[in-house]
Amino acid sequence: MDTLSAAEAAKLLHLNVKRVQALARAGKLPATRVGRKWLFPRLDLERMLSPGQPRVSSPVEISARNQLRGRVTELRVDGVMAEVRVQVGEQELVSIITRTSAERMHLAVGDQVFAVIKSTEIMIGKG
């Protein structure tokens, strides 16, 4: 069995090492404690990240309730920013994120993603 250290798992999941350890302690990530170290089965973590594979649980819990699943339809990278267009049902969302974030997530057209909408104000308009 191929296992990862907490630091390696954190890099794979794009999380802080302390967060990975906390998720392991809470039983939200598959892990085994050996002495003072956590070991994570690589296959289980990769399975959690793979699109199309059934997920038992999400690797990260976040407080935002407005999470919309969709597919990347367009990705424009210019300078330090990236424009990501996501098709959610019959609607399209546009998000502006940093180029670094887009590259870190290896975003590409066709990827399944989720948009998290967190705001203190929501406006409604009518034609």
Over the stretch 22-68, which tens digit does the pLDDT of each residue have? 999 999 899 999 888 999 998 888 878 765 544 444 455 666 667 77
Asked whether residue 72 falls in the same domain as residue 106, the answer is yes
Q: Which residues contact 30 (CB under 8 A, 6 or more apart)?
A: 40, 41, 44, 45
Using the predicted structure, report yes or no on whether residue 72 has a pLDDT greater than 90.
Answer: yes
Domain assignment present for residue 125? The answer is: no
What integer pLDDT is reported at residue 57 of this predicted model? 45
What integer pLDDT is reported at residue 49 of this predicted model? 76
Domain assignment present for residue 16? The answer is: yes
pTM > 0.75: yes or no: no
pLDDT averaged over every residue in the chain:
83
Distance between CA 107 and CA 84 in Å, rounded? 9
Range of the domain at 100: 67-116
